[in-house]
Structure 1
Amino acid sequence: MDIFTLPPLAALLDLSARGLMALIAVLTPVAGPGAAAAAVVLVTLIVRIALAPAGVAQAKADQARSRLAPRLRALQKRWRAHPERLQRETLALYRVEGVSPAAGCLPPLIQAPVVGLVYAVFLHGSIAGHTNPLLGEHLLGVPLGQTAVAVATSGFDGAAALVFGVIVVLIALIGELTRRLLRPAVATTLPPGQRLLVETAPFLTAVVALFVPLAAAVYLLTTVTWTLGQRLVLRRLYPPHPPHRES
């Protein structure tokens, strides 16, 4: 079941789509045929900026967890045969250090509904019983409702192939930069299966971009670019503690 068919969520989705169309009308005198794509980028950036405090909270939580990681591992090693004692000692450590065990979970939970609503506007061809007008707009002659898979299966379209190709390649490049610059230090110590998942995760967005409407692909490109920049800044402001090497 699509939850966005429920009346309250459908109304929110419809309101968001209408707001985007109004923004496109405002941007058209400046951006011309690229107004729709510019609106997608602008709205995505506005949402990401509004959610930046949640990203700061996440960075602080990650820093705190990396600081406590050696002591948590020591507790796990000492009390692994006594789960209840391990839980008490772990909670006591968090309390003494002034760190909430749920600190890392709350920021994603706060962001998820907002991000989900915005992303849904770019995915749904029909909203509240009528056609989503945003997906009828174009970028360089390619409908924002078109998908790369549809282009590949319906005959060669040079413009569409170029647009999707550039977006997917850029997302993949951002993924590679993310992997190189933000690779977790613990990745090298993980089992092969988990290590493969960590290494390939940044590229999954490029795969997703092949199957979603062009509007959603533009959203994904904007999101991964913003996320990389934000994480680099936050890592400099709140650097993780170096991993503890056990002898």
Structure 2
Amino acid sequence: MSAFMSVFASLVEHLADALDPLFHASATAAAIVLFTACVRLLVHPLSRASARGQKARAKLSPQIAELRKKHSKNPEKLQKAVMELHRKEKVSPLSGCLPSLFQLPAFFLLYHLFSNSSIGGEANTLLDHTLFAAPLGGRWADALSDGGVFGAQGLVYLALFAIVAAVATFNFRRTKRQMAANPQPGTGAGDQPMPGMAAMTKVMPLMSFMTLFTVAVVPLAAALYVVTSTTWSAVERAVLYRDMPAGAGALATAA
């Protein structure tokens, strides 16, 4: 693991050196943004496949509604019937999770790299690199103790919080519109309520705002990854799901 982290640290340093003529002291931060964009490009085929899966599941909605009526008093039969329908139509109910799962290793690499004072037995000099005044190895709590909310470091975090809040608000409004246009089965008038569905319906549009908490507690380098990836996701989903029936992409938007 130590040798692998040394290789990854060297990769970040080489990217930063290449970007130094343009970004100078913030070259390492720019390298992290570029690294995130490369990860998202690699994951993009999975995102497209996920969108195709969501659209395929949307087409199955009338059949699933009939199955819910038929097996309204037998949840086990309903679950088996829905799984059989997915298998028959070659639709994976888990395809929407794959893009997020494949990004986790990249996030944890950055988190680990900028959370340790030494890599491979040598001092981790990347911790001293900055985004403007804020060290990439620092956290929001460190910024608050060094100048407060409106200090030089605090302003960097305020800018990141503003970006995340704007993206989360965009996702929130889009998800609310989709869910209002096409309520999930079990939440409408006359439907048999599904266990936990009402709570999920209320919480789902708010999930995007959880990113604010993540940005506040992880090292700034990892926060940059989260902000860049979240912004990419919002734009990507708006494009990939633009021709989807209203409401069908609500789960994907909140993911």
TM-score tier after normalising by the smaller chain length: 0.7 to 0.9
2:163 match: 170
- Which residue type is aligned with residue 165 of structure 1? L
Determine which structure has greater relative contact order: mean sequence separation of CA pairs < 8 Å that are 6+ residues apart, divided by chain length.
1
Give 1:69-108 correspondences, 5 Å limit.
69-82=61-74, 85-108=77-100
Gaps of 5+ in 1: 1-6
Q: Distance in 1 between matches of 2:99 and 2:132?
A: 37
Aligned pairs for 1:61-210 (under 5 A) are 61-82=53-74, 85-156=77-148, 158-183=151-176, 185-186=178-179, 189=187, 191=198, 193-210=199-216
Match of residue 252 from structure 2 = none
> Identity, % of aligned pairs?
34
Q: Which residue does 1:44 correspond to in 2?
A: 36
Of the structure 1 ranges 155-164 and 59-68, higher mean CA displacement relative to structure 2 is found in 155-164
Deviations 1:27-69 (A, max 9, x none): 1122211211111111111111111011111111122222223
Kept in 2: contact 1:62–1:104 (CA 8 A): yes
Structure-2-length-normalised TM-score: 0.78
From the superposition, tell whether residues 86 and 134 of structure 1 become closer, same or farther in structure 2 (CA, over 3 Å): same
The 1:210/1:117 distance shift into structure 2, 3 A limit, reads same
Check conservation: 1:64, 1:99, Cα contact below 8 A: yes
- Letter paired with 2:156: V
Name the stretch that deviates more: 126-135 or 197-206: 126-135
Contact 1:24 1:35 in 2 (8 A): yes
Q: Deviations over 1:80-99 (max 9, x none)?
A: 44456435533442244232
Amino acid at match of 1:37: A
CA distance in 2, matches of 1:199, 1:45: 25
When normalised by structure 1's length, the TM-score is 0.80
Aligned pair partner of 2:238 in 232, 238, 243: 232
Contact 1:21 1:133 in 2 (8 A): no
Aligned-partner Cα distance in 2 for 1:184–1:109:
27
Change (3 A) 1:104 1:203: closer
Give the conservation status (yes or no) of the 8 Å contact 1:144–1:215.
yes
Deviation for aligned residue 1:152: 1.5
Equivalent position of 1:3 in the other structure = none
Contact 2:177/2:247 (<8 A) preserved: no
Asked if 2 retains the 8 angstrom alpha-carbon contact of 1:137 and 1:143, the reply is yes
Superposed CA deviations along residues 78-135 of structure 1, whole A, max 9, x for unmatched, are 2244456435533442244232344344444444334443454344444344443322
Are residues 62 and 131 of structure 1, via their aligned partners in 2, closer, same or farther at CA, if it must alter by over 3 Å?
farther
Segments of structure 2 that go 5 or more residues without pairing to the other structure are 188-196, 249-255
Alignment of 1:54-65 (within 5 A): 54-65=46-57
SS at match of 1:77: helix
CA deviations on 1:9-36 (whole Å, 9 max, x unpaired) are x332321111001111121122211211
Tell whether the 8 Å contact from 1:37 to 1:215 is kept in structure 2 after alignment: yes
